[in-house]
């Protein structure tokens, strides 16, 4: 397919995933604000802004982290390139450009989301419950993802969409963890304080994973369990290993379909092989923050290799 | 006269470019008075593309260079035997109707001052005499003075300042001739320089005016003459851009700079470089 | 008061092609009609069909009103139109090959040299080139109006990239979805083969150097273009790639597109961008939409461009006057379809007549389109007439004038019920190895009562166009 088409599909997926992440961040932030311990709440918003990579932009526009501004910022604000509005608009525009590479169902889901969002934007903010906005986002991103899985031809376009989804999700998971890595430092356990209840809930909630976590592990919540769950557990839909495996599998499909391997397969396989061998102890030994920084760098490099091998049009 | 040409154009990019596409008008015209003995065009790292003879009888040759490259060299070497035709283009096969050369282009737009230079002429009575007069008036009105104009200077601007190079003078002749109802065009080629002591570039340009009954006739206001056996004609167009020897576009961010050296010698090759 | 030909009624009787629509119309209660109208609009909005007809400009996200009342031709009526359209398309192409060759028609004195060779649309860069199969204009859109049972006039020819064909196809789709019974009762010839015929037509003009199944692409200026929907719609139905200039590049003697598997050669480019933008090396150097070096590849037979660069000289409004002459000159036939009598304001006799009759004529700019820069004398205010008088006097050669035609009407759904509204017709003739015309076209309707301007920017809508099987 045209490199530009593949690029549009790849980014359509990344923006949809990013929209979902922003909505999750917003939900988590709002939840913390409801908690009695008000002390940590401003810090929490700060860290969520950092997780979304938009702290500077927010500070420039609004200064202090006031709840109402944060809601606008994460949801409607066109100045925030990661807001739900910006992401859905960009995803829909990418979709419109490659309209013919999508099924009617996928386009409908994408276009309807965009049109509804424009309607929402016109309504007075006071009428809009926050939970309604985040639910709306979850439902619509799921609808797009679902119609992709249910109706799209499983050709190379489908692979590029999935690559976008997995790459973005891996990156988002790693960033979310990195923002709160200090919560998971083992030394806190050594001093016997245990994990701060709302801190880890925040983290798991941010990934809609707090129930899944309990089902998977049970018992006492420990830093090792959470790190294992979010990094190494292939059952967790947002774990790093799940995302990397997804990337590898779609890159392998591409290599088979095109009957040629590229540096992209090699890169993804390398990352996957490392994760497969890894134990939680190794991660803590390296330092969680160091490990996550390295992983985020790896994802950026994987993205750039994928671009060079398929998307930039200079493929020979 | 036996003329030997060595023409090198070197393009430099301050950052590597991803690829270059060029379109050349670098082959001597097939016409009376020009016999090509040998001729060769090369482009460093270049792949020769499609070539064709256009409606004006010029051979146009495409070239592409696959990047990344920092530098490209286009070299033209060859030998042509010439015979003076008193400026008249004979035996030249072309299909483009002369009327098509009445069309205005930006650099050849006649302003009031250019139009004034057509005053008193009567092309309907004697087109050839009118064309000679136009060329002479331009030689007087725009003095050949290098480095006073650039590639984008229009005929009107050159006339306003009273100086220019062969390109500006040719544009002025074309503008005035078209204003007087005579089809006219821009010609690019080579010139054997130095015989008259003038320091004109060896890569040269002049104008052709269409004279009913006679055909296209060349006028070189820079040298106050009609092209003779010191001239090698390559190609023509509505103005300098349309008649350019080399047109090219690079894909990438790099700034382009170029160095041109042309030598035209009588007889055997001797090396001489100008910049 | 001018009387207009009503395509449905002749006196009190219903004309044959519309016979079955009489019952349909009277059997439809107002509520049902409104429901259907809303349904149609929802369908259009859902598929995202928005566009502006060639050169009309306007808001790109605007929906053109769709009128559900079909416009109907009998098989016999169409047969004559078809002959006339094909004849015209052949003559226009013969003219193009000629004026970029020896120019026999000019030499023979049948058309003034200046009109052709000094025309802005005359492309010096293609002189001497004969495109594959001798075709310059592969999609000829001919705008027709009707004034009586057998009177059709050609308003203008569109030889470059006529748009609107997606409406022809979508209007039909939506009508079939909403009113299947109508299609059971009437024997309506299908139009859905158009994309396949277009693809075949384009493939048939692959260049000489193409020695395999040709790869066809559509070249669009991009997704901001008002007709982007149509470009992507056609690419989809034809099963070909929709490319932008940046997706193509020249290497050696050929053009390639950038794909995820490496360069893939392209043989035929159906371009929906203007000549001036297709190759910055040859035309406008500031164009970002085109492909550098494309013209060299084209002229050396490495790729075909449809329509061929330079085709525009045949659809110029001043050249239009000479199309009947072209038909006689190249085909040795009499024109089947009439031209509208046209006064060239550049000629002094014509100018005098025009200035004396401004209140009865339609005056158009030679290079304008879309109903802008146009004076409809009988409908214009005195101020407008005087404004045009001044403009024409200042630059006479820029204007032509035509009599105000009594455009036919067809029944149309309006707020008060059903009423006659004026219509025109644009069929799309495909020219390649063969000349083909699908039975149908785009009917535009002036929705404002009494208006003769059908352009969508001026309150025009569209209708499904039926050709009945005999």
CB contact under 8 A, A4 and C263: no
- What pairing do the DSSP bridges indicate for beta strands B215-219 and B59-82? unpaired
Tell me the average pLDDT across A214-222. 79
Q: Indicate whether C73 pLDDT > 90.
A: yes
Q: Is C12 on the interface with A (CB under 8 A)?
A: no
Q: Identify which of C124, C252, C282 has the shortest CB distance to residue B100.
A: C124
Closest C-chain CA to B247: C281
Contacts of C261 in chain A (CB under 8 A): 258, 260, 315
Question: Among B75, B41, B36, which residue's Cα sits nearest to residue B232?
Answer: B36
Q: Is B66 on the interface with C (CB under 8 A)?
A: yes
pLDDT attached to residue C416: 83
Mean pLDDT (chain C, rounded): 91
Give the whole-number percent of chain A exceeding pLDDT 90: 55
Q: Is B38 on the interface with C (CB under 8 A)?
A: no
Are both A109 and A207 inside the same structural domain? no
CB contact under 8 A, B55 and C117: no
Q: Binning pLDDT at 50, 70 and 90, where does residue B199 land?
A: very low
Q: Identify which of B47, B54, B248 has the shortest CB distance to residue C251.
A: B47
Q: Residues near C434 by Cβ (< 8 Å), separated by ≥ 6? A: C201, C204
Nearest-angstrom CA–CA distance, B266 and B190: 12
Tell me the average pLDDT across A273-289. 92
Question: Among B79, B78, B74, which residue's Cα sits nearest to residue B259?
Answer: B74
Mean pLDDT (chain B, rounded): 92
Q: Indicate whether B271 pLDDT > 60.
A: no
pLDDT per residue over C193-219, tens digit each?
999 999 999 999 999 999 999 999 999
pLDDT per residue over B29-52, tens digit each?
999 999 999 999 999 999 999 999
Inter-helix orientation angle A67-75/A3-33, to 10° = 160
Check: CB of residue B55 under 8 Å from CB of residue C100. yes
Copy the structure tokens of residue C194.
Answer: 């158009």
pLDDT per residue over B81-138, tens digit each?
999 999 999 999 999 999 999 999 999 999 999 999 999 999 999 999 999 999 999 9
Distances (CA, A) of B275 to A48, A265, A301, B203, B262: 62, 51, 46, 11, 8
Nearest-angstrom CA–CA distance, C408 and C362: 17
Chain A interface disruption, residue of C42, C226, C260, most A CBs within 10 A: C260
Task: Please name the helix (run of DSSP H) or strand (run of DSSP E) that holds residue C60, with its range, or none.
Answer: none
The DSSP secondary structure of B107-144, one letter per residue, reads GG---HHHHHTTTT--TTT-HHHHHHHHHHHHHHHSEE
Nearest-angstrom CA–CA distance, A198 and A206: 12
Tell me the average pLDDT across A15-34. 85
Q: Is C235 on the interface with A (CB under 8 A)?
A: yes
Q: Is B99 on the interface with C (CB under 8 A)?
A: yes
Q: Is residue C3 part of a domain?
A: no
Q: Indicate whether A204 pLDDT > 90.
A: no
Q: Is C223 on the interface with A (CB under 8 A)?
A: yes
Q: Indicate whether C57 pLDDT > 50.
A: no
Contacts of B19 in chain C (CB under 8 A): 249
Q: Indicate whether A27 pLDDT > 90.
A: no
Q: Indicate whether C49 pLDDT > 50.
A: yes
Closest C-chain CA to B98: C117
Q: Residues near A285 by Cβ (< 8 Å), separated by ≥ 6? A: none
Give the whole-number percent of chain C exceeding pLDDT 90: 71
Are both A141 and A96 inside the same structural domain? yes
Q: Is residue C46 part of a domain?
A: yes
Question: Among B98, B193, B178, which residue's Cα sits nearest to residue B144?
Answer: B193
Question: Among A150, A148, A175, A172, which residue's Cα sits nearest to residue A12?
Answer: A148
End-of-domain residue from the set A92, A125, A152: A152
The long-range contacts involving A187-194, CB below 8 angstroms and separated by at least 24 positions, are: A188/A223, A189/A222, A189/A223
Q: Indicate whether C9 pLDDT > 60.
A: yes
Question: Which of A44-58, A245-259, C42-56, C417-431 has the lowest average pLDDT?
Answer: C42-56
Question: Among C458, C460, C469, which residue's Cα sits nearest to residue C412?
Answer: C460
**Terminal-to-terminal C-alpha distance of chain A:** 14
Nearest-angstrom CA–CA distance, A2 and A98: 10
- Domain limits for position C389: 342-403
Which residues pair with residue C375 across a beta bridge? C363
Check: CB of residue C445 under 8 Å from CB of residue C462. yes
Are both A86 and A221 inside the same structural domain? no
pLDDT attached to residue C50: 56
Are both C372 and C230 inside the same structural domain? no
Q: Binning pLDDT at 50, 70 and 90, where does residue A275 land?
A: very high
Tell me the average pLDDT across A198-213. 76
CB contact under 8 A, B64 and C293: yes
Cα dihedral angle (C298, C301, C307, C313), rounded to 10 degrees? 80
Domain(s) labelled CATH 2.60.40.2250 in chain B stretch across 2-81+245-266
Cis amide leading into B117 (omega within 30): no
Mean pLDDT (chain A, rounded): 87
Three-class SS state of B36: strand
Which residues pair with residue C217 across a beta bridge? C241, C269
Q: Is residue C1 part of a domain?
A: no
Contacts of B62 in chain C (CB under 8 A): 250, 253, 293, 296-297, 300
Three-class SS state of B221: coil
> What is the nearest CA distance from C258 to chain A, expressed in angstroms?
5
pLDDT attached to residue A42: 59
Are both C253 and C386 inside the same structural domain? no
Are both A123 and A219 inside the same structural domain? no
pLDDT per residue over C220-234, tens digit each?
999 888 888 899 999
Which residues in A have their CB inside 8 Å of a CB on C?
1-6, 93, 96-97, 99-100, 107-108, 111, 156, 160, 254, 258, 260, 310-311, 313-316
Alpha carbon of residue A106 to chain centroid: 20
Question: Among B252, B164, B215, B188, which residue's Cα sits nearest to residue B29?
Answer: B188
Closest B-chain CA to C285: B249
Tell me the average pLDDT across A235-255. 96
Residue with the larger pLDDT of the pair A122 and A40: A122
Residue with the larger pLDDT of the pair A94 and C54: A94
Number of H helices, E strands in chain B: 4, 12
Check: CB of residue C258 under 8 Å from CB of residue C272. no
Domain(s) labelled CATH 3.10.620.30 in chain B stretch across 84-237
Q: How many beta carbons lie within 10 A of that of residue B47, not counting itself?
A: 14
Q: How many beta carbons lie within 10 A of that of residue C464, not counting itself?
A: 27
Are both A2 and A123 inside the same structural domain? yes
CB contact under 8 A, C297 and B47: no
> What is the nearest CA distance from C43 to chain A, expressed in angstroms?
12
Closest A-chain CA to C224: A97
Q: Residues near A265 by Cβ (< 8 Å), separated by ≥ 6? A: A248, A251, A252, A254, A255
Q: Binning pLDDT at 50, 70 and 90, where does residue C369 land?
A: low
Contacts of B53 in chain C (CB under 8 A): 128
Task: Please name the helix (run of DSSP H) or strand (run of DSSP E) that holds residue C9, with its range, or none.
Answer: strand C9-10
Phi and psi, residue B266, nearest 5°: -85, 135
Query: What is the b/e burial string over B52-72, where b = at least 16 CB atoms within 10 angstroms of the residue's CB?
Result: bbbbbbbbbbbbbbbbebeeb
Are both C185 and C50 inside the same structural domain? yes
pLDDT attached to residue A93: 93
Contacts of C243 in chain A (CB under 8 A): 2
Copy the structure tokens of residue B259.
Answer: 């160095």
Are both C354 and C319 inside the same structural domain? no
Nearest-angstrom CA–CA distance, B215 and B59: 20
Contacts of A106 in chain C (CB under 8 A): none
Nearest-angstrom CA–CA distance, A225 and A284: 12
Contacts of C250 in chain B (CB under 8 A): 21, 49, 62, 64
Are both C60 and C128 inside the same structural domain? yes
CB contact under 8 A, C252 and B21: no
Contacts of A6 in chain C (CB under 8 A): 260
Nearest-angstrom CA–CA distance, A114 and A120: 10
Distances (CA, A) of C439 to C16, C172, C191, C335: 18, 12, 6, 20
**Terminal-to-terminal C-alpha distance of chain B:** 25
Task: Please name the helix (run of DSSP H) or strand (run of DSSP E) that holds residue C115, with its range, or none.
Answer: helix C113-117
pLDDT attached to residue A100: 83
Are both A142 and A255 inside the same structural domain? no
Are both A9 and A77 inside the same structural domain? yes
Question: Which of A39-48, B140-149, C308-317 has the lowest average pLDDT?
Answer: A39-48
Contacts of C258 in chain A (CB under 8 A): 2-4, 313-315
pLDDT attached to residue C372: 60
Q: Indicate whether A246 pLDDT > 60.
A: yes
Contacts of A5 in chain C (CB under 8 A): 241
Q: Is residue C47 part of a domain?
A: yes
pLDDT attached to residue B274: 45
Tell me the average pLDDT across C266-288. 91
Contacts of B61 in chain C (CB under 8 A): 296
pLDDT per residue over B57-89, tens digit each?
999 999 999 989 999 999 999 999 999 999 999
**Angle CA B60–B246–B49, to nearest 5:** 45
Among 3.10.620.30, 3.40.50.720, 1.10.3720.10, 3.30.950.10, name the CATH number for the domain at B84-237.
Answer: 3.10.620.30
Distances (CA, A) of C174 to A132, C42, C68, C311: 35, 11, 9, 34
Q: Identify which of A2, A97, A107 has the shortest CB distance to residue C258.
A: A2
Are both C32 and C77 inside the same structural domain? yes
Chains that touch B (3 or more CB pairs under 8 A): C
Phi and psi, residue C64, nearest 5°: -85, 135
Q: Is residue C2 part of a domain?
A: no
Residue with the larger pLDDT of the pair C456 and C418: C418
Tell me the average pLDDT across C336-340. 95
Q: Identify which of C242, C243, C260 has the shortest CB distance to residue A310.
A: C260
Q: Indicate whether C406 pLDDT > 70.
A: yes
Copy the structure tokens of residue C421.
Answer: 């509204």
ipTM above 0.90, yes or no: yes
C 241-270 → A contacts, CB under 8 A = 241-244, 246-247, 257-263
Q: Binning pLDDT at 50, 70 and 90, where does residue C29 land?
A: confident
CB contact under 8 A, C244 and A4: yes
Q: Residues near C384 by Cβ (< 8 Å), separated by ≥ 6? A: C375
Chains that touch A (3 or more CB pairs under 8 A): C
pLDDT attached to residue B175: 97
Are both A181 and A314 inside the same structural domain? yes
pLDDT attached to residue B213: 93
Tell me the average pLDDT across A278-294. 91
pLDDT attached to residue C48: 63
The DSSP secondary structure of C300-369, one letter per residue, reads TTS-EEESPTTGGGGS-HHHHTTHHHHIIIII----SSEEPP-EETTSHHHHHHHHHTTTTEEEEESS--
Give the whole-number percent of chain A exceeding pLDDT 70: 91
pLDDT attached to residue A203: 74
Q: Indicate whether C133 pLDDT > 90.
A: yes
pLDDT attached to residue A43: 67
Contacts of A7 in chain C (CB under 8 A): none
pLDDT attached to residue C235: 94
Architecture of domain B2-81+245-266: Sandwich (2.60)
pLDDT attached to residue C365: 85
Q: Indicate whether B272 pLDDT > 50.
A: no
Inter-helix orientation angle A67-75/A130-151, to 10° = 20
Number of H helices, E strands in chain C: 14, 23
Q: Indicate whether C139 pLDDT > 90.
A: yes
Phi and psi, residue A20, nearest 5°: -65, -45
Write down the pTM of the prediction.
Answer: 0.91
- Domain limits for position A10: 1-152
Task: Please name the helix (run of DSSP H) or strand (run of DSSP E) that holds residue C116, with its range, or none.
Answer: helix C113-117
Would the CA dihedral through C15, C18, C23, C27 be positive or negative?
Answer: negative
Check: CB of residue B187 under 8 Å from CB of residue B218. yes
Contacts of C195 in chain A (CB under 8 A): none
> What is the nearest CA distance from C245 to chain B, expressed in angstroms?
13
Strand ordering across the sheet containing C343-344: C343-344, C399-403, C361-365, C374-376
Task: Please name the helix (run of DSSP H) or strand (run of DSSP E) that holds residue C202, with its range, or none.
Answer: helix C194-203
pLDDT attached to residue C380: 86
DSSP state of C133: G
Are both A226 and A94 inside the same structural domain? no
Are both C300 and C350 inside the same structural domain? no
Are both A143 and A174 inside the same structural domain? no
Question: Which of A90-94, A176-180, A247-251, C279-283 has the lowest average pLDDT?
Answer: A176-180
Nearest-angstrom CA–CA distance, C83 and A214: 77
CB contact under 8 A, A108 and C243: no
Check: CB of residue B30 under 8 Å from CB of residue B75. no
CB contact under 8 A, A97 and C46: no
Q: Identify which of A93, A100, A107 has the shortest CB distance to residue C235.
A: A100
Three-class SS state of A268: helix
Are both A22 and A72 inside the same structural domain? yes
pLDDT attached to residue C270: 98
Count of domains in chain A? 2
Q: Indicate whether A34 pLDDT > 90.
A: no
Contacts of C260 in chain A (CB under 8 A): 1-3, 6, 156, 160, 254, 258, 310-311, 315
Cα dihedral angle (C350, C354, C360, C361), rounded to 10 degrees? 70
CATH number for the domain spanning C367: value is 3.30.1490.270
Phi and psi, residue A216, nearest 5°: -75, -30
Count of domains in chain C? 2
Nearest-angstrom CA–CA distance, B59 and B24: 8
> What is the nearest CA distance from B199 to chain C, expressed in angstroms?
31
CB contact under 8 A, B62 and C253: yes
Q: Is B35 on the interface with C (CB under 8 A)?
A: no
Q: Indicate whether B182 pLDDT > 50.
A: yes
């Amino acid at each position: 397919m045209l490199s530009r088409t593949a690029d549009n599909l790849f980014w359509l997926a990344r923006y949809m995933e990013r929209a979902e992440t922003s909505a999750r961040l917003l939900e988590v932030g709002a939840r913390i604000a409801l908690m009695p311990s008000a002390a940590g709440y401003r810090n929490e918003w700060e860290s969520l802004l950092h997780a979304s990579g938009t702290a500077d932009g927010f500070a420039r526009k609004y200064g202090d982290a006031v709840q109402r501004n944060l809601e606008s910022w994460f949801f409607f604000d066109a100045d925030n390139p990661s807001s739900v509005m910006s992401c859905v608009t960009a995803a829909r525009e990418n979709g419109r450009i490659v309209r013919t590479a999508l099924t009617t169902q996928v386009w409908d889901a994408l276009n309807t989301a965009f049109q509804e969002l424009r309607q929402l934007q016109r309504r007075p903010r006071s009428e809009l419950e926050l939970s309604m906005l985040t639910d709306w986002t979850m439902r619509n991103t799921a609808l797009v993802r679902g119609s992709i899985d249910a109706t799209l031809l499983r050709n190379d376009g489908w692979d590029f969409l999935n690559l976008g989804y997995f790459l973005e999700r891996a990156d988002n998971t790693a960033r979310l963890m990195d923002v709160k890595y200090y919560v998971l430092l083992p030394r806190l356990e050594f001093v016997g304080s245990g994990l701060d209840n709302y801190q880890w809930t925040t983290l798991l909630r941010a990934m809609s994973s707090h129930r899944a976590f309990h089902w998977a592990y049970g018992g006492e919540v420990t830093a090792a369990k959470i790190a294992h769950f979010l990094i190494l557990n292939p059952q967790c839909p947002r774990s790093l290993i799940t995302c990397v495996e997804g990337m590898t599998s779609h890159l392998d499909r591409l290599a088979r379909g095109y009957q040629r391997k590229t540096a992209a397969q090699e890169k993804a396989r390398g990352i996957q092989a490392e994760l497969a061998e890894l134990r939680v102890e190794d991660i803590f030994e390296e330092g969680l923050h160091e490990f996550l920084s390295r992983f985020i760098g790896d994802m950026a490099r994987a993205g750039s290799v994928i671009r060079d091998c398929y998307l930039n049009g200079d493929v020979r | 006269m036996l003329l030997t040409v060595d023409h090198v154009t070197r393009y430099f990019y301050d950052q590597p470019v991803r690829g270059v596409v060029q379109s050349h008008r670098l082959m001597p015209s097939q016409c009376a008075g020009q016999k090509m003995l040998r001729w060769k065009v090369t482009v460093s790292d270049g792949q020769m593309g499609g070539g064709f003879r256009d409606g004006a009888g010029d051979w146009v040759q495409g070239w592409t260079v696959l990047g990344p490259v920092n530098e490209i060299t286009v070299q033209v070497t060859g030998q042509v035997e010439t015979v003076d035709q008193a400026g008249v283009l004979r035996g030249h096969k072309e299909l483009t109707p002369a009327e098509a050369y009445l069309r205005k282009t930006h650099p050849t737009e006649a302003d009031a001052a250019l139009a004034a230079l057509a005053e008193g002429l009567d092309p309907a009575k004697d087109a050839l005499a009118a064309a000679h007069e136009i060329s002479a008036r331009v030689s007087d009105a725009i003095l050949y003075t290098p480095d006073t104009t650039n590639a984008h200077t229009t005929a009107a601007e050159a006339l306003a300042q009273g100086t220019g190079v062969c390109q500006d003078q040719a544009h002025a002749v074309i503008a005035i001739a078209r204003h007087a109802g005579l089809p006219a065009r821009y010609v690019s080629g080579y010139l054997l320089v130095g015989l008259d002591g003038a320091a004109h570039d060896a890569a040269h340009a002049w104008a052709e005016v269409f004279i009913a009954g006679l055909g296209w006739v060349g006028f070189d206001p820079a040298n106050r003459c009609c092209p003779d056996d010191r001239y090698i004609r390559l190609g023509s167009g509505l103005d300098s851009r349309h008649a350019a020897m080399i047109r090219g576009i690079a894909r990438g961010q790099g700034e382009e700079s170029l160095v041109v050296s042309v030598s035209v010698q009588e007889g055997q090759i001797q090396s001489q470089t100008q910049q | 008061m001018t009387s207009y030909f009503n395509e449905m009624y002749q006196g009190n009787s219903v004309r044959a092609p519309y016979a079955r629509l009489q019952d349909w119309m009277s059997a439809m209660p107002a509520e049902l009609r409104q429901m259907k109208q809303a349904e149609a609009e929802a369908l259009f909005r859902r598929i995202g069909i928005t566009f502006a007809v060639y050169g009309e400009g306007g808001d790109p996200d605007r929906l053109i009103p769709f009128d559900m009342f079909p416009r109907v031709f009998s098989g016999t009526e169409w047969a004559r139109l078809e002959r006339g359209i094909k004849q015209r398309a052949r003559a226009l192409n013969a003219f193009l090959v000629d004026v970029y060759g020896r120019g026999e028609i000019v030499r023979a004195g049948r058309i003034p040299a200046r009109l052709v060779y000094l025309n802005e649309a005359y492309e010096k860069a293609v002189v001497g080139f004969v495109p594959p199969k001798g075709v310059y204009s592969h999609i000829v859109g001919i705008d027709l109006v009707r004034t009586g049972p057998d009177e059709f006039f050609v308003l203008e020819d569109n030889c470059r990239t006529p748009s609107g064909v997606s409406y022809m196809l979508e209007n039909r789709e939506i009508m079939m979805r909403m009113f299947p019974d109508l299609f059971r009762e009437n024997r309506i010839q299908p139009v859905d083969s158009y994309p396949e015929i277009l693809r075949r037509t384009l493939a048939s003009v692959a260049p000489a150097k193409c020695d395999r199944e040709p790869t066809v692409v559509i070249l669009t200026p991009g997704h901001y273009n008002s007709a982007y929907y149509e470009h992507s719609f056609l690419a989809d139905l034809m099963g070909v790639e929709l490319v932008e200039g940046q997706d193509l590049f020249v290497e050696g003697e050929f053009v390639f597109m950038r794909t995820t598997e490496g360069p893939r050669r392209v043989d035929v480019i159906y371009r929906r961008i203007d000549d001036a933008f297709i190759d910055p090396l040859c035309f406008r150097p500031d164009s970002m939409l085109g492909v550098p070096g494309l013209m060299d590849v084209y002229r050396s037979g490495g790729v075909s461009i449809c329509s061929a660069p330079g085709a525009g000289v045949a659809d110029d409004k001043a050249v239009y006057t000479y199309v009947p002459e072209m038909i006689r000159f190249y085909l040795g036939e009499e024109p089947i379809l009439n031209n509208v009598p046209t006064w060239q304001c550049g000629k002094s006799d014509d100018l005098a007549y025009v200035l004396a009759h401004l209140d009865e004529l339609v005056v158009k700019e030679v290079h304008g389109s879309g109903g802008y820069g146009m004076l409809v004398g009988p409908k214009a205010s005195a101020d407008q007439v005087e404004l045009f008088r001044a403009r024409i006097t200042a630059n006479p050669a820029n204007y032509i004038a035509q009599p105000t035609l009594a455009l036919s009407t067809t029944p149309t759904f309006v707020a008060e019920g059903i009423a006659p509204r004026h219509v025109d017709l644009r069929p799309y003739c495909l020219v390649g190895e063969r000349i083909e015309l699908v039975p149908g076209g785009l009917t535009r309707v002036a929705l404002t009562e009494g208006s003769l301007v059908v352009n969508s920017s001026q309150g025009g809508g569209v209708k499904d166009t039926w050709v009945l099987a005999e």
